[in-house]
Structure formats: structure tokens, C-alpha cells
Amino acid sequence: MKTMTCNQFGGACSLEFRASTFEAIAELSKQHGMEMHKTQDARPRSPSGHAEDG
């Protein structure tokens, strides 16, 4: 089982994606990114443009 976070894909949060292949993790990350874009995640942004956790 492989694990990567949204942050590791250049995303704005620390959500973990777990799957047996990198390709499957990438697809989970893509789906997560599209969902966050749809909901227009409104968390405060850091100067780098990423949402701040907490």
C-alpha cells in the first residue's frame, strides 16, 4: 500500500491518499482536487496561495 498527501501533489491540505499504485493515488488526488475546486474551499490562504490547515 502506498500513501501520499495532497500537499505532496502540490495541493492545499494534508489529506492522505492510499492505494496500491501511484496511478491510483494520482486519480484519488485528481478527484479530491476537482471536488475542492467545486466547493471553492474557503479556508484562509497563506502568502504562497495555499489554504492553511487549522
Q: What is the distance of C-alpha 35 from the center of its chain?
A: 10
* Residue 51 confidence (pLDDT): 58
Q: pLDDT digits over 2-13, tens only? A: 999 999 989 889
Task: Give the 3-state secondary structure of residue 39.
Answer: helix
In the chain, where the domains are located? 2-39
| pTM of the model as a whole | 0.67
Task: Give the 3-state secondary structure of residue 42.
Answer: coil
* Residue 19 confidence (pLDDT): 97
